Structure 1
Amino acid sequence: MIAREIRLFQIALQFLTQLPVGSIRDCPPDWLARSAKYMPLVGAIVGVIAGAGILLSAVFFPGPLPIVIGLVLAIAITGALHEDGLADTADAFGGGRTRERRLEIMKDSSIGTYGAIALIAAFALKDSALVALDLRSAACVMIAGHAGARLATILTMWRLPHAGGIAKVSQKISEMTPSEVAVAFALGLIPGLLVLPTSKFVVATLFAFAAAAIIALIARRKIAGYTGDVLGAVEQVFETVFFAVAAAVIAGPH
């Protein structure tokens, strides 16, 4: 039982990051649904590493360089998986006029104007939000935001049908059991509750989930469901809004 759960966690880690996990044997056919509950934990690990990068680099570099280093580190760990999804989704929804054309654009590896603007805006907003915080708070926001963002992607997969276009996420996440969903919620929310003041974490989380839900609803209207790229956009929008609102409630307006 324990070995199986460790293997499922390794699958989630391998799917979402570039971190070495070794060879995974006996991967179950329903690996996505079974391992999804651990994806928020993977997000928290990404946040911990990026947050540590902020704190450690601050020993050598003046601000705002540690924040930039932390953000770039998070991108490197995930192989820009979510950023790529944000760019493709922005291009598809901004430039596609039909469902078929939007899905076609998502499959195109090139980045258009909408995608470039979305990436620049997301990075600038996250950087500006974290720079407004002290370094310890910035690291904590990293942990909470990354964990919650992966939970948002799971909920999107759980509630929306797959729209086609990305084979590796075409499995039915709706087959998650109630206990697996409960574990995902716990792993997505507990890290933030541990590292941030409860009231501030709740406010930032509610705004971030609302923003992620809007992206999911837009995807449902434009392509009748989600794709891997849409999940990347959901993750990035959650992160960006969470960072911004957390900065607002922790540091306050200037």
Structure 2
Amino acid sequence: MSSLLLMIQFMTRYPIPVQIDFTVDRFVQGMKWMPIVGFLVGLPAAVLLYLCFPYFGGEVSTFLALIVLITVTGGLHLDGMGDSADGLFCYRSKERVLEIMRDSTLGTNGVVAVVLTILLKFITLKNIPLAGSVTALLCAPVLGRMAITWHTTVASYAREQSGMGSFTDRVGLPQALTATVCSLLLTSIVFYFTGMSLVSAIWSLVILHGIAIALAVGFAFYLQHRIGGITGDTIGATIELSEMTSFLFFLLAWDFLV
């Protein structure tokens, strides 16, 4: 339980009134519960969208839901998306890329990446029927957090200094597999309550998890070649990329799933 609470404290802005020491063992064990953290991130946004939709319509309700989605995480993963874009699109040496990614100042590439990320989420969600957009808001954050367990499993930490690497390099296949099972269970429950047929649910589970894992692993392999490994910023970027692809899936497939 302490490892789960630690990850909620670390990855969200939920006020957990418990002092938990941030240790390597707790971090590693907490990674397998990341899909639960993702569900807690998406839940308030999905509830708000559902409650506001009859009164404000799709566009305003979707906008408000995205504000909640960002607020719950404090924009932590969007910051990782922006920093990753600044570094990876500068086409400099590994050392310079890592230096740029560590800089707290957001550059042009980072701003563009953040804006496009939010814009794509808004456009996809507002064009999905209400039941589908609520389902997407519940499932996408779960899949994004599951994806980072694979992202950290298949690649080493890029920086030579001790820090986040002493935590992420300990994450391995047991945590990734457990997180995947946890994600499958959570998304299956969501699909059940949306009334999705068994065949549609199975296909959706396979496709969504397959895409999220492939994206996380592929991105990690690219980073291993480009800058020698992953960073905290690329972990955040992986979450955002996975959420966007999940939203796109629901946009393209929802009419065929129900």
| Length-normalised TM-score, structure 2 | 0.88
1:98 Cα shift? 0.4
Within the candidate set 132, 136, 145, 1:137 is matched to 132
| RMSD across aligned positions (CA) | 2.1
Deviations 1:199-249, CA, capped at 9 Å, x for gaps = 234323333333333322221121111100010111111110111022101
Match of 2:194 in 1: none
Deviates more, 1:24-33 or 1:44-53: 24-33
- Give percent identity, aligned residues only: 26
Work out whether residues 32 and 176 of structure 2, in 8 Å CA contact, stay in contact via their aligned partners in 1: yes
SS at match of 2:105: coil
CA 1:31 to 1:234, structure 2 compared with 1: closer, same or farther past 3 Å?
A: same
Aligned match of 2:166: 171
Match of residue 3 from structure 1: none
In the alignment, does 2:194 pair up with 1:218? no
Matches for 1:78-227 after TM superposition, within 5 Å: 78-164=73-159, 169-176=164-171, 180-196=175-191, 197-227=201-231
Q: Secondary structure at the match of 1:62?
A: helix
Task: Please point out which of 228, 231, 251 is paired with 2:232.
Answer: 228
Distance (whole Å) between structure 2 residues aligned to residue 208 and residue 181 of structure 1 = 12
In structure 2, the residue matched to 1:248 is 252
User: Structure 1 runs of 4+ off > 6 angstroms?
Assistant: none
Secondary structure at the counterpart of residue 171 of structure 1: helix
Gaps of 5+ in 2: 192-200
1:42 partner letter: V
Residues 179 and 101 (structure 1), Cα distance of their counterparts in 2 relative to 1, 3 Å cut: closer
| Paired letter, 1:243 | F
Q: Aligned partners of 1:65 and 1:205: how far apart in 2?
A: 30
- 1:30 Cα offset (Å): 2.4
Structure 1: runs of 5+ lacking an equivalent: 1-5
In the alignment, is residue 33 of structure 1 matched against residue 37 of structure 2? Answer: no
Cα deviations by residue, 1:68-114 (Å, 9 ceiling, x for unpaired): 11111111000101000000000100014100001000111111121
Report the CA distance between 1:24 and its aligned residue. Answer: 2.2
Cα separation, 1, equivalents of 2:254 and 2:161:
38
Give yes or no for contact 1:86–1:118 (8 Å, CA) kept in 2. Answer: yes
CA–CA distance in 2 between the matches of 1:79 and 1:122? 15
User: Residue type of the partner of 2:83?
Assistant: D
The one of 4, 7, 14 equivalent to 1:9 is: 4
Partner amino acid, structure 1, of 2:76: L
Instruction: State the aligned residue count.
Output: 247
Which residue in the other structure is 2:67 paired with? Answer: 72
